[in-house]
Structure 1
Amino acid sequence: MTFPGAQQGQWGQPYGAPLPPKPPRKSGAAWLVVALVAVIGLLGGTVLLVASRDGVAGVAIAAEPTSLPTTTSLTPTTTAKKPPAQGARLSYTDYDGNWDYKMGSVELRATWVEGRDHTTCAPIEKDGKLSSLGCQYAAEMVLTAENGTVKLTQFILSMPDAASAKTAAEKITDADLKLRPGTTIDKFETGKWRAGDSSTYVVITLATGAPGVAVPVVEKYLKHRHVDIVSAILFR
């Protein structure tokens, strides 16, 4: 199983113009560890986010394929608490709480800020773009890391079917999103994003870093948080 249509990009913020504005949890559930390792094996290190697309201040640049480790010795932890009930409506509460993540030698932690469930996609979209692609409802999550110098914002969009999710993931850009004040670092220096489909959902992850935060640090949080949620959703 693959995750086609994923894309990534970054924002520029020239001349300082800002974008509009529980205790740590580890999942010890064997089902998720096994499932996540299986996903990594299926990816073959070349599929997830391979069809990436970067952008600077809205200007597209050359794609930069990315990949995941393929070793099956990894025992990653994820944010998922337990498998939700069959057919249950997705909610931010499925993945809320502090993020305590480990995959191989990578260990990351982020503090939970807030989450919201949106009964439609209107509150988070510009010009009706998400709704026009089939978005039915959405969950929103915000976390912070590195002593508040990195902020992560994620949207999970519910789509009618897997085909709609794939198409939407390929067409959505950061310009289609309406971000609330406080969901990004104010006057951030580094801003990056990724979008990808997982089953009948689209996951959009945005990461911003304050001046002085190294770009690779922001990119690491972006990649692993995105993969963590994409993988967890796949096994709902």
Structure 2
Amino acid sequence: MKIRLNTDQQKELFNELEEIGEIQRWASELALCINKNKYNTSIEIRGPQIAQGQLMRRIADYSDEFNKRFREYQLNATVAALFGRQKAASVKLKQIASHWSSKYCSTSFIPKTSTILIIGKPKVSFADMNDYEKEVVQLLNEQTVTAVNEDSEDEEEKEDEDEDDDAEERDMKTIEVRGQDRGCVFCETKSSISTSILRICGHSFCRCAAQVLTTSSTLPLQCKQCK
């Protein structure tokens, strides 16, 4: 028979059974051979089927008591990122775990599943474990607030950048329009480089204006657009 360990809870259950020597004792009593693979993802049990059934009942009974000492908190991606290696949140979590280790409490962050595990050893006092859990939850709440604030700041920065981009785009369009409007009023050449502005009326003209104005018989000289 092969037992697949698909969840962190299952893995921690069998880790504890192995650490305290309980599963080895059961295997000896029931004449079973138990092997766990090195990846801690499955356990193979060999021996009489009746004995295998008895072993599974013992594991189930033990898991009922173990589950009372097991807590699991699923983190979203943003909060989980704050618990990376050497991050302040991870350092704080280790400090909390170190402080409570003498009370048979432990905690760990599982990056693969983005979860915080809180586990009480068999000798733990439930009063101590509840206090320990409150302290860990307080840390998680603080990190959640931090993550929300950082997201808000990022959104504000993005909005500011978008507004700056929009303003720049509007300015560019205005420049383009103005450039297009600066066509010579005499020859209608569309060029923002070769045209200049008449001081009196503000209309644009190019080099052709000199010839047009000097050959005109109308005095005083007038802008073609203003006639």
Band the TM-score falls in, shorter-chain normalisation = under 0.3
Name the structure, 1 or 2, with higher relative contact order (CA <8 Å, separation 6+).
Answer: 1
**TM-score after normalising by structure 2:** 0.21
When Rg is computed on C-alpha atoms for both structures, the one with the higher figure is 2
Q: Which has the higher helix share?
A: 2
**TM-score after normalising by structure 1:** 0.20
Q: Which has the higher strand share?
A: 1
